[in-house]
Amino acid sequence: MPGLDDEGSPPSTSPTTTSESAPSDSPATPDSLSASLEESEVAGIAAVLTAIDSGEPLPYEEDGQTFQNREGLLPQQPIGYYREYTVETPGSPDRGARRLVIGDGGETYYTADHYASFTLIDPGDFEP
């Protein structure tokens, strides 16, 4: 039946994520993305993007370093094309698992599981 999946349920509206495959070229919609993220994730993403845009120092030495895409989940690009940034993980004794990965073309990916999957996001959805 049109509009239903194989089990007769409405199609999922979850954000664009990947696990062992390349992410979709379309960013997750703000409604679907915010529904799946914790408030601390949204605030953390916004804080990192604001710091990058304003040139503020970032808290971790690794922030802004090359992300090499060893997992091969993001579109293949030359080494140095992607940069990684830490998104605070409340309660974590270290950097935690949350990261933003930003390409030279501005494409921005979020991972909450230390690169096991990615969601293509629109940074404009996280402006303060």
Q: How far apart are CA 9 and CA 82, in angstroms?
A: 38
Task: Supply the mean pLDDT for the chain.
Answer: 81
pLDDT of amino acid 14: 35
Q: Catalytic site residue 114?
A: yes
pTM for the whole thing? 0.75
List the catalytic residue out of 7, 20, 56, 114. 114
pLDDT of amino acid 8: 44
Q: Catalytic site residue 88?
A: no
**Region 37-65 average pLDDT:** 94
pLDDT of amino acid 49: 97
List the catalytic residue out of 38, 39, 62, 84. 84
Q: 30-70+78-126 has which CATH code?
A: 3.10.450.30
Q: How far apart are CA 99 and CA 46, in angstroms?
A: 12
